[in-house]
Every structure is written in C-alpha cells, then in structure tokens.
Amino acid sequence: MALLRMRAPQGANATEIEKKIKRGNALRQGSAWRGFLGSRWFLVLLLVVVLMSGGALWVYLSLDSEVTETLVSRGELVSPHPRIYSVPCSEDYNNHKRYPGCTPQKCGRAVTDSIVTREEAEALKRLAERGLALAGSEGGASILDLHSGALSMGKQFVNIYRYFGEQIGEVFTEEDFQLYKDVRGRIQAVIAETFGLDPALMYLTKPTFFSRINSTIAQTQHDEYWHPHIDKVTYGSFDYTSLLYLSDYGSDFSGGRFIFMDPNGNRTVEPRAGRVSFFSSGTENLHRVEKVSWGTRFAITVSFTCDPAHAIADPAMP
C-alpha cells in the first residue's frame, strides 16, 4: 500500500499497466452503474421482495458494489497457517535485476493471524498514537516513519527526530523499538516461508511506516490514499509488501478495506488487529484502499526488496 499518489508508469510495460488500472476503474464504475440500473428498473421487484421478506432490503443495501469477493473477513481467524492465494507473476520483475533466491518466481497474496498477537498490535497502536499525537496531517491520512523520521505535519512532513529532539525520549522507549524489530522479523520470516525464499536475501526497504486514516477530507495528494496503484511500479525497489493491521474493521472504523483489483473482479481483505496481509509487489497485485467512512484505521506497511542497494536498517532510538 502507498499513501503517496502513484506516478505515471514508465518502461516497456507502461501500456499494459495503464490498461490494468483502467480495467480496475472500469470494473468499479461498471458495478456502480449496474447498481443504478438495478435501483431504477427493478424497483418494483425489490418492493415485492421486501414485502415477502423483511430482511431482503437490508441485504440488498448492505452489498458493496466495489467488492466481488471477500478473501478473509474480520470475524475469521486464519491460524496457524497463512491462507494463500496464488496469482501468475507479471512481467514487472523482468525490468529489474533479478536476484536468485529472492526475486519472485511464484506470486500471490496471503493472510495470517498467527504471527502477531492482539496485545502486540495494541502496543504498536499505542506507539503510533503517541508519535502521531505530536502532529498529523490536515487531511485524512497521516504517516509516521520511524526509519527516516518522517511525520505528517499539516500539509507537509517533518523529521520527528530533528524537530522534537530530546522530547522523543519521552514519546518512545527502547522496548517500543525492540517490539517493532521483532514483529518485522516475523513478517519477513512468514513471507520467505510462504514464497519459498531465503530470508537472508530479503531486505527491509523504504517506505516502511505507520498509517492513521480517518474520514477527514483530503487536503493534499498525500491524503488521497484510495487511488489504485502498483507498488513495484511506484517504488521500483519493492518486491514484497505487507500490512500489519492495528485496528478492527467494523468496530474501530468502517470502509478502509484493502482491495485487490483483479481483471475479473475486486477482492478484499478485512482488517483485524494483529492480522498480516502480504503479497508480491508487481502488477499482478494492483490494489487500493477503500475510503474510511467513520472511525480511525491504524496499520503498518512493511516492505521488502531483493536489491541490497535499497536496504534500510531497523530504526533505533536516537
């Protein structure tokens, strides 16, 4: 996932990427248009159904036209093994240097609820809340990057370590950073095991950050988190992307689901505190985040590269 708006695709596969993004948009627009036609031309039928069954109208109105299939719902517990959905790899990886033992040979997406506890997710959420309490975006999306120090402040970013100086020691602890490192290591290990990789050949890469999203109106393009995008195209270094959710869909917030935009429909993962969703970063996993309609959604994006030149270290207390 990226909070920054996607730049125009470059390279030999730009046309194909643009087609996929347009196809995803068309699917969403088509679903909305079909919903309009349904309400216009089948109103009488709906009224008859409502008279026959008091619950039918509720079911009709609860359907989300953007989602064709729910891969994992909020109420499910995916444990002990990840739930894996394989998809064919795109050609994106051919436009970059290949690294044996790491560059995707098989692609897909997966979800697990077994590597981060709800208590750990709550501790990381408190970390994010303390950091973001120092500032925050004027729009609906704020980020905190412990690696670079980037923190949303109004319509721009500041370096939290420089801007707040010694005050950081009153906000974060060594234990916070150790938990962050431990969780990152577990995410890296499950990605490596799922995709058959050597974890020693995977490297943490930027941007890796906490996100806080609410329903406030966007003020800049950085707040427009809902645009379809492809991580490998947006950043280049990404080979595997993961999201650790720190709050629950349906109780802490509504909207905000993660949507994979496939040629034959949109598929979603519903956030649950402690849930890790991960996927290969190429065009095979075009995605977006649905707009948050109420409440606040917290998550961590943790990204990995096969290129050691783009590796970053775990954050440490200054």
Contacts of 163 (CB under 8 A, 6+ apart): 151, 153
**Residue 298 identity:** F
Contacts of 159 (CB under 8 A, 6+ apart): 148, 149, 150, 151
Among candidate residues 28, 184, 275, 297, the one labeled active-site is 297
The CA distance from 212 to 228, in Å, is 19
The angle at the Cα of 303, spanning 299 to 306, to the nearest 5 degrees, equals: 170
Largest Cα separation within the chain, whole Å, is: 67
Nearest in space to 82 (alpha carbons), one of 210, 269, 264: 269
Q: How many CA atoms lie within 13 A of 288 on its CB side?
A: 23
Q: Is 118 among the catalytic positions?
A: no
User: Which residues are the active-site residues?
Assistant: 297
